Structure 1
Amino acid sequence: MYKQSLLSASIVLALSSTSAFADDYALFDEVVVSATRTEQNKEDVSSSIESVSAEDIENQMSNDIKQALQYTPGVEAQGSGRFGISGFNIRGVEGDRVKLMIDGVQQPTPYNPGASEQRKYSNAIEVDTLSVIEVNKGPASTLYGSDAIGGAVLLRTKNPEDMLRTDGDENRFGIKSSYTSADEQFKNTLSWAMRKDKLETIVMATYAQGHETETHSSGSEVEGPDRGAANPADTELSNFLAKAFYNVSDSNKIGVTLEHYQRQYDEDELNYNGYQLMPGFVYTDNYNEDTNKRFRATLEQQLKLNSSIADSLDWSLSYQDSSTLNKNYDTTGFNGRRLRERDASDVNMQIDTQLSKLVNIDGADHEFTYGFTYLQNDFELDNTDHKFDQGTVTPGSTGIPDAKITQWGVFVQDQAFFMEDKLIVTGGLRYDSFVADPSTDDGYTTEYDKNEDDAFTAKLGSVYHINDNLAVFGQIGQGFKAPSVYDLYYFYNQGAIVEANPNLKAERSISYELGLRGSNEHARFELSTFYTDYTDFINETKTGQQGGKDVFTKENLDEVTIYGAELSSTINLDSLIDAPFGTYTRLAMAYADGEDKSTGKSIDSVAPLTGTIGLGIERETFGSALNIKMVAAKDEWNSDDNVDVSGYTVVDLTAYYRPVTDLTLRAGLFNALDKQYWLYSDMSGSAHDSQFNTDFKSQPGRNWGLSANYEF
């Protein structure tokens, strides 16, 4: 921490002594949306916001969201392999405590019943279609409601103006092809954008084929739990995005969006061959066929008003159907040859209305933002067990009931500008209502009453511009998370017993953040500290034994705290020390710690100390970057039986070249030193006495990628 503080102090000293450049260099040119639900300069935002642009995604040669966020301090996407990315971790909070939205459409709560045959995650995302990824760190319930207790990840897909280069009538086409060696994936994306008179459109189509993502292990011929190499798999992905906008007038714009995503993952599950769960249950001939789909349709309108209550009105109506079908084939002595089909789906209807009004009160400008959100989600499970030797087809136990979830909320926010915009104060208030109404079927016969909850959440933040180069910011915010259907009703009775708890209370949090940010023509930086106190934190705990089986249930913990500090900075070496034009260096660090106050034990989701150093050059026709990521060991777990994870350093190299204006060639070498390492999140829950080889969860060794992008 001393080195981090020393670096911050040096940057602050440099910035505060260069006021001669104040008129020419803004604190931050970056515009963000997620902090206030309206476009704001990052310099005026009272909390930490991270953003990754489409250009960043391209230059890093990111093939998915996980790779796109790998250098972002305090943030990571988790999971890989058969079930894909499982969710996001922001400052030690993960899973359904982080809200994910695509173009404002809320994505379903992740479903993980614990057994190996089924997962349903909100990972049906094609990065080639994204214009920006924004991460709102810390509780964001005042803006986005339940499930944003740990923050929010907002993805915005590309609009026609992201591809078009003029303001007049125009047609542009794009072709992008890429290859990555870690999963032997070939991917092609075609795009077309058009503007003619009052109509604007964009169409993007992606198709990819590949295989399993390799691990850093030998022994591809080994079968059974000792296997360290990844299971052989074939993957196929397709995505289609179409948008059309019509400018009825200068004050009236109507838009339609259609999107369809599908991923097929077929795996020969060799590491389970010979695995014995219990006598009579030795698994052989294991393979899986998984299909992940998402369809979205949105109708939206943007209106400019001349009204005493609003200057603008934006509304949208969205329909989304997401589903995951997991087919699991295996043979055991007890069941013979069988197929377990696990089909999960979420069908959402969402209405959003947002208004804004700028007024002047006693010489201070106030930007009011207020609105209403309504979401109805129908969650269904359809499980079927086929026993081929017996010739039977029966409903499979689902573990949780089908349910209809209804959420609605109203919010208001005031962003006020005082002292000639030196002091900016932002206050917000929101009310949320949540209802989960379970139903019974052949797969789940226990009846439960509906679960209802509601909450008021508030936030208060401010930014004070010390001068044109430095600003201090701080925020106090509340969070709220209603228990999910899985939290409330999940029941399991195989190798262990998991009991339902329909009496769970909603989680609450209060977060404090204080930071300093600044920039001039030489550098920019942001240093932030945070402390979050969670009450009624929902956690699965062991309650005893029954019939020789461990018994678990979800419980509300009394109190959990997570705290830490983050630093990010960029220094333009060309202006500072006369390095070659376009040369820069970047530094990012993230530290966090957490504790369950009732037991004094660590929180498994809190990441170890992480740092990234980058050195690069960016010019119009060429550029390159060297990124070094360093992660400390993870040896503090809630369970003493969890394996420790060693620290590691990974080196990545990327470069691009534009031989002509519209053609960009890129190449990357990743894990250049061929380091064997494990992500701490992959090893959470891995016991010392596990039958399975830990190499199976290792990350790829040295690998490379190529891409070509041509627009005309």
Structure 2
Amino acid sequence: MALSPSIYAQDEVSVFDEVVVSGTRSEQSIKNVPSSVTKVSAEQIEDNLATDVKQALKYEPGVQVNGQGRFGMQDFTVRGMSGSRVKVLIDGVQQPASYNPGAEVMRKNSNTIEVDTLTAIEINKGPSSTLYGSDALGGTVLMRTKNPEDMLEPGDDTHVGLKTGYASVNDEYKATVELANRSGDWESMVIYTYRDGHETETHGDGADITGPNRGAADPYDIASHNVLAKVFYQINDNHRVGLTGEYYTRSADGSILSGEGRDGGMPGYIYTNVRGEDEDQRYRIGFEHEWLADLVAFDSLNWSLNWTESEAEHNSYDHTEAKGNRNRVRSGKDDSLQFDLQMQKSLEFATSRHELTYGVSASNESFALDYRDYDLDNGKNKAGSEEVPSSDSEKRAIFVQDQMFFMDDKMVVTAGLRYDDFTATPDEQSGLKEHNSDALTSRLGMVYHWNQNLSTYAQYSEGFRSPTIYEMYYDKDHTMFGYRIESNPDLKPEESQSYEIGVRANGRIGAMELSAFYNDYKNFISSQTTMDGSVEVTTNENIGKARIYGSEFKGSLWLDEAFGAPMGSYVRLSMAYLDGEDKQTGETLDTIAPFTTVVGLGYDAPSELWGSALTVTMAAAKDEWQDKDADANLEAPSYTVVDLTAYYRPVSDLTLRAGLFNAFDEKYWQYQDLEGATATTEGIDRRTQPGRNWGVTLDYAF
């Protein structure tokens, strides 16, 4: 959906010479990747004053970050695919998908990511299962955290960085301390970030009232702590080992004023005294080993072992005449142990050279829910009704990729193949059976460099997604209420096929990339309802088929070179068009984003002492929705939002940044926040994006 206004206009290196990892699982220039890969650097995140991942990616074409309100960021949408259909990795370690059973008191979201630890966010658009396996059906989001070398100069060195800032959009203050050191063969670093703020505001004209029609965000106090520590030891010229530890915690509590007076639909269920207390945590411990072997089988070998755990606990308090004062405690936990082994080998022939990448990966994961209801009037408690049983899963994979360079590197061909095996085992007491599935995915792409300024590319790639624990094992008998939900462990993986072509060009006056893509999906998992007498029976089935197609453009023009403007002036433009449909019904998909254009005009002083950027985001209306009455479902209106950012360096080690966002106080909704909303939906203004807001940061490094 946009541009990267913080890249210096006078850089000699084109954006297409940037090095990325997500396109081939190894460091590679974007210009040799036969598909669309986006990279957002730490510098761009800082220059845009982003306080979270959603703000960090708000200018990226074809990418949306979903989630708002009490539970924060939920997941990503990449070219119309969202949820567990987009794989999320941090330093190559898979993150659990968000868990949303539909109940207002339970979410387990991906809201435990600290952007101040990141050196880059890479997005591999389109199916990428040959690289990353299951869940990469629609794309991959790879976040890379900082290493000591990102902050240190060559040789023995010490780095100290201090950052602080304020954001009016959620009244948040932050403080970050970075420490890094290299002494001989040892490298180490620690990054600590503390944030203290409140709820993210909606637009200012929302009604600040109590009840379901409340238009302002519910008041919440939110605080987070994140510690990232790494240490590396260079054993000798050929061996390097590293240890990583990370701990993130987010606590939030507040009054859910929009829930006051809500009618539960049964006698005695008018809710009052509604409030919530939430705690989200994420742990990671990882060990890695790099071996420069120069053997016949491989030149280098990298392996890593990572243990991660994430947990969300939500305390939801309320009072009703029927239940009195109560607390519904809902917690969910994901644990995983992940092993990854990757080898690389370079081969030289008379007319070509080959960069081989191959290896294996394995993971053991567990998911568990723990629900309990507390009667606060008499001190009693009982187990709550959990949606799915505790379950374990195993993933095993083997992969190989060959990146082939021909004609003095003018033609680059990339071919990949991967086999994945998946097993899920529910708790024995559930009485549900084990699930087994596998998938073989392939990829073939080519880049042709016509000259040093122009190249074209094309790629065919496949993706798949194993069914989730929730999709397979949700099994509840509510016959007394007129419905029943039945499990289906026999679900098959979802599959996708993608075709993409593109052209990249760069020269003295600018750079551009234009891509077009067509994605075909089948075996989509969706719920089906039948009648068993007077009882509704719902189960998940592989019935869905869909196609998504579109095009994206991004370009930069150096105004000084093109028109003789002041040195350091530039303009950036990006556009994203997307369309698609359910192939069985012909209806448009709810995840299809409206046509979006982002224009940026900026200036970076040749002295690098100051600069500024004006960014305008324009989105068309979304007035078509899937399987809904078009007359009843609300339209997501078009909007234009203007942002202004600037930086100033009074001395080389000190940077002051400031930003004014939504400068003209536009009232708007992101389309995904209006999914399912109708004219009778209460609290529509509570789904708006923030009005005019501002922020400042101060960075000092020595």
1:524 aligned residue: 511
The answer on 1:184 being equivalent to 2:174 is no
Out of 664, 678, 681, the residue aligned to residue 687 of structure 1 is 678
- Pick from 278, 282, 286 the counterpart of residue 290 of structure 1: 278
Structure 2 CA distance for partners of 1:209 and 1:551, relative to 1, 3 Å: farther
Matched, 1:263 2:263: no
The equivalent position to 2:694 in structure 1, one of 684, 687, 704, is 704
1:535 and 2:522 correspond: yes
Relative to structure 1, the CA distance from residue 121 to residue 496 in structure 2 (aligned partners, 3 Å threshold; closer, same or farther) is farther
Counterpart mapping for 1:497-646 below 5 A: 498-543=485-530, 552-619=538-605, 620-638=608-626, 639-640=628-629, 641-646=632-637
1:416 matched to 2:407: no
Q: Is the 8 A contact 2:518 2:549 kept in 1?
A: yes
* 2:470 counterpart (481, 486, 492): 486
State whether residues 206 and 686 of structure 2, in contact with CA within 8 Å, keep that contact through their aligned partners in structure 1.
Answer: no
| Closer/same/farther in 2, CA of residues 25 and 404 from structure 1, 3 Å limit | closer
On the 8 A contact 1:27/1:518 being kept in 2, the answer is no
1:468 pairs with 2:455: no
- 1:433-476 Cα distance to aligned partner (Å, 9 max, x none): 001101156xxxx4210111001000000001111111110100
Alignment counterpart, residue 114 of structure 1, candidates 90, 102, 105: 102
Q: 1:674 to 1:552 in 2, by over 3 A?
A: farther
Residue 277 (structure 1) shift = 2.0
TM-superposed deviation, 1:220:
5.9
Question: What CA distance in whole angstroms lies between the structure 1 residues aligned with 2:672 and 2:143?
Answer: 23
| CA distance in structure 2 between the aligned counterparts of 1:462 and 1:573, rounded to whole angstroms | 32
Q: Deviations over 1:646-702 (max 9, x none)?
A: 111100000000000000001000000001100111111223332x22001111110
- Aligned partners of 1:366 and 1:414 also within 8 Å: yes
Letter in 1 for 2:308: Q
For the residue of structure 2 that corresponds to 1:601, the secondary structure is coil
Which letter maps to 1:682?
D
Distance 1:684 1:545 in 2: 30
Contact 1:323 1:345 in 2 (8 A): yes
In 2, the alpha carbon distance for the partners of 1:211 and 1:413 equals: 47
Give 1:420's aligned amino acid. Answer: D
> 1:239–1:261: 8 Å Cα contact kept in structure 2?
yes
User: 2:37, 2:123 within 8 Å by CA — same for their partners in 1?
Assistant: yes
| Aligned-CA RMSD value | 1.7
Instruction: Give 3-state SS (helix, strand or coil) of 1:477's partner.
Output: strand
Aligned match of 2:418:
430
Does 2:23 match 1:35? Answer: yes
Q: How does 1:151-190 map to 2 (within 5 A)?
A: 151-164=139-152, 166-190=153-177
TM-score between both structures, scaled by the size of structure 2: 0.95
Report whether the alignment pairs 1:364 with 2:352. yes
Change (3 A) 1:336 1:550: farther
**Residue 170 of structure 2 aligns to a residue in which SS?**
coil
> Structure 2 residue aligned with 1:308, among 296, 304, 310?
296
The Cα of 1:502 is off from its aligned counterpart by: 2.6
For 1:543 and 1:613, how far apart are their aligned partners in 2?
A: 49
Residues 173, 711 of structure 1: 8 Å contact kept: yes
Inter-CA distance 426–221: structure 2 relative to 1 (3 Å threshold): closer
Are 2:640 and 1:653 equivalent residues in the alignment? no
Partner residue of 1:677 out of 645, 653, 668:
668
> How much does 1:84 deviate?
1.1
Q: Would you say the 8 A contact 2:206–2:685 is kept in 1?
A: no
1:535 maps to amino acid = K
- What pairs with 1:206-285 in structure 2 (closer than 5 Å)? 206-218=193-205, 221-280=208-267, 281-285=269-273
Q: Is the 8 A contact 2:208 2:215 kept in 1?
A: no
1:361 Cα deviation (Å)?
A: 3.3
Q: Deviations over 1:359-406 (max 9, x none)?
A: 023421011000111011111111111122354211111111110011
CA contact 1:109–1:484 (8 Å) conserved in 2: no
Q: Is the 8 A contact 2:575 2:596 kept in 1?
A: yes
Instruction: Name structure 2 gaps, 5 residues minimum.
Output: 3-11
Q: CA distance change for structure 1 residues 543 and 466 in 2, over 3 Å: closer, same or farther?
A: farther
Quick one: distance in 2 between partners of 1:83 and 1:501? 29
Say whether the 8 Å CA contact 2:351–2:407 is kept in structure 1: no
* 1:123 Cα deviation from its structure 2 partner: 2.4
Secondary structure in structure 2 of the residue aligned to 1:214: coil
Question: Residues 14 and 511 of structure 2 are in contact (CA less than 8 Å); yes or no, is this contact kept in structure 1?
Answer: no
Match of 2:48 in 1: 60
Pair 1:588–1:219, CA change in 2 (3 A): closer
Pick which of 696-705 and 271-280 moved more: 271-280
